[in-house]
A and B are shown apart, each in its own frame.
Chain A
């Protein structure tokens, strides 16, 4: 119980510190807020007036306190670019990103775990070698380059999938694969090494001696122990997917949190950047929390 309270308090502290970091970073990184909102013909006085209006001339700490006050009152602010209320555009962006992120998570574990198990089961065979080499490649290939590659192959050349935009499941295939690629590769490696390590444990010999079939030993017992490291690293996978979503959504024109955040940074749209980066912090924190709760449940030593 105390552990949970501690954890929740720490999460709030983390959110507060990250909000300050984001707030400061976007303001200190230079650039001109007025460039995106005001026409090119606007005079220096016009621009100065605009800054005055949105409170940019106050000291940065005062601005931060004002911002926190607004947030606590439930006012997330408006976009500086088109004056849209953030609270009204957030829902759609979040929904879109959740679809893409969930698809990527399903691929990471749904493909990564079975491939890792196959590699371990047929260790040192051609199958293991191919899977392991592919996973090294999967970790080494930068995802923006992989994105260009799959667009060139499956969109431009073969014409199987659309290269950008959003619609049916067809539109989801390429971005989710690119988003999941590195996570799949890492999950394959973790699964393979955990399976191999557990296969050499003494308890496997006991199970064999009591006459359990190899498939039973493999799928029930060895897999069960191997899930622990996979679950404990699942939090990292979530963080990874959140980070990569910025790149992947931009490349594939996926109208989600990543895309609006990247555009917000480019236009120095402070309220957009502040809200959506904080949202990513929340998602990563929740992902880690879910992973550690999952780990506790999966491990009888912690559960009892």
Chain B
């Protein structure tokens, strides 16, 4: 059943909020596959559940109140959703690593870059101090840091945002994971640094044969680095396929809406087509398609029957009346 080339297969995953008086899912029946040596971008608006999907792969969601309520996360023949804390700890860093959004607050301010990196090494491998240091310096160089020796002894507050993000990338690389989950890795950085970080990620994929699950809200980022993409809306994947296919021929009205809202160089602002209405709250979703109230192509069954993800052409789309 499991595809030979797939590294991570998220199947029918739901993650929900469970407390004494509330119970609803924020991530709903999400299925995603990350293949070996591939960058899969998950794109969507704030609150669409893309970050939560990413966090729950490593069970890093704030639990309680957030729990995986159904589905599986298959990696290396095991379901990560069922692993114990101990087993999960071993996966983190060595098999799957993660890069976070805000580099300035993601590093422990009390320790030097070198200490942070070597203690990440030591928590997985029983190697000597000098070996750990060598690995740390290599990871810093691999992450694109110019002067690893100098940075090694610096504290996070001495680093710029771009260098901090590279240190976080080094922290993710230091134990040689096969998959890196990057949750909005460039959102907090200015555009030139953004481009450098994205190039670095692409090179890492090529040089190390790594796979990357890239979470972003930026379609430009998707177009420049990803191989395949998945569009999420209200906790669901509404469309997924190769980046070129989805960009050239978007089928879900939400995807067309997103692409229509991207400003083009030389185009007037009035050429932008906003998506009307607002995203429904996760505890007040419509029964049928969750996009129905904002959709210009809605038909009768859209408000009563929840569409499923169907193969259509070269992509998969969750829509009763897709764009041709």
Contacts and interface: CB of A to CB of B under 8 A. Distances in A.
Contact of B123 (A201, A205, A216, A304): A216
Nearest to B98: A209
Nearest to B124: A211
B123 A213 contact: yes
Contacts of A203: 105-109
Interface in A279-304: 299-301, 304
Interface stretch (B167-175, B211-219, B266-274): B167-175
A225 B155 CA distance: 14
A206 B90 contact: no
A221 interface: yes
Interface of A: 201-203, 205-214, 216, 220-221, 224-225, 299-301, 304
8 contacts: A203-B109, A208-B60, A209-B58, A209-B172, A211-B90, A212-B123, A213-B123, A301-B155
Contact of B100 (A205, A216, A299): A205
B92 interface: yes
Contact of B89 (A202, A211, A221, A299): A211
Contact of A209 (B85, B93, B110): B93
Residue of A209, A224, A300, A304 with most partner-chain B CB within 10 A: A209
A206 B106 contact: yes
Nearest to B94: A211
Contact of A210 (B112, B123, B155): B123
Contacts of A304: 155, 158
B155 A208 contact: no
Interface string B39-63: 0000000000000000000101000
B108 A221 contact: yes
Contacts of A301: 109, 155, 157
B227 interface: no
B89 A206 contact: no
Given A214-B85, A216-B123, A300-B155, A208 B106 contact: no
Contacts of B138: none
Interface in B75-131: 85, 89-94, 97-98, 100, 102, 105-112, 119-120, 123-124
Given A211-B92, A214-B85, A225 B171 contact: no
A211 B116 CA distance: 12
A207 B108 contact: yes
Contact of B109 (A207, A213, A214, A300): A300
A220 B120 CA distance: 13
B164 to A, nearest CB: 11
A299 B174 CA distance: 27
A208 B96 CA distance: 12
B119 A212 contact: yes
A39 B38 CA distance: 100
Given A202-B102, A206-B106, 17 more contacts: A202-B100, A202-B105, A203-B105, A203-B106, A206-B100, A206-B108, A206-B171, A207-B108, A210-B175, A211-B89, A211-B175, A213-B89, A213-B123, A225-B108, A225-B109, A300-B157, A301-B155
Given A202-B100, A214-B85, A304-B155, A208 B92 contact: yes
A123 to B, nearest CB: 12
Contacts of A211: 89-94, 120, 123-124, 175
A203 B103 CA distance: 9
Interface string B118-150: 011001100000000000000000000000000
A220 to B, nearest CB: 8
Given A203-B105, A300-B110, A210 B157 contact: no
Contacts of A214: 85
A301 B158 CA distance: 9
Nearest to A212: B123
B90 to A, nearest CB: 7
B165 to A, nearest CB: 12
Contacts of B110: 221, 224-225, 299-300
Sorted from nearest, which 6 A-B pairs have the closest CB atoms? A211-B93, A211-B92, A209-B98, A210-B120, A202-B105, A203-B108
A224 B111 contact: yes
B106 A205 contact: yes
Contacts of A208: 58, 60, 92
Contacts of A202: 100, 102, 105-106
A303 to B, nearest CB: 9
Of residues A203, A207, A210, A221, which shows the largest number of chain B Cβ atoms within 10 Å of its Cβ? A210
Contacts of A300: 109-110, 112, 155, 157
Interface string B165-206: 000100110110000000000000000000000000000000
A209 B101 CA distance: 13
Given A203-B108, A301-B155, A304-B158, A210 B92 contact: yes
A209 B123 contact: no
Given A216-B119, A301-B157, A209 B105 contact: no
Nearest to A214: B85
A207 B172 CA distance: 10
Nearest to A224: B110
Interface string B303-322: 00000000000000000000
Nearest to A202: B105
A212 B98 CA distance: 13
A95 to B, nearest CB: 37
A205 B58 CA distance: 11
A226 to B, nearest CB: 10
B39 to A, nearest CB: 19
A70 B26 CA distance: 78
